[in-house]
Amino acid sequence: MRIFFTIMFVLVCIAAVILVLLQEGKNAGLGAIAGADSYWGKNKGRSMEGNLVKWTIIIVVAFFVLAIILNLNF
C-alpha cells in the first residue's frame, strides 16, 4: 500500500510542477491597472487560466493529503 501512495505522490508532484509552469504571471494582465472591468476579468473563471488555477488547488490539496498519509506509520 505504501508503494501505491509513493507512486501517486510522485505523479501528483510532477502534475503540480507542470500546472504551476503553465500559469501566466500576475503581471500579464496589464490592462487591469486602471481598475476597469473587462470581459476577460469577468469571465476569468471560465477561461483556460481559471481552469489551471482550479486544478492547481486540487493537486496541491492532494499533495498535502498524500504527504500526511505517507508520514503515518502503518
C-alpha–C-alpha distance, residues 57 and 22, integer Å: 14
Q: What is the dihedral of CA 48, 53, 54, 55, to 10 degrees?
A: 90
In the chain, what's the furthest Cα-to-Cα distance?
Answer: 55
Banded pLDDT at 9 (limits 50, 70, 90): very high
- Report the C-alpha gap between 11 and 5 in whole angstroms: 10
User: Mean pLDDT in the chain?
Assistant: 82
- Quote the CA–CA distance of 66 and 36 in Å, as a whole number: 41
Residue where the block lists cell 505504501? 2
Task: List pLDDT tens digits, range 33-65.
Answer: 555 555 555 565 568 888 999 999 999 999 999
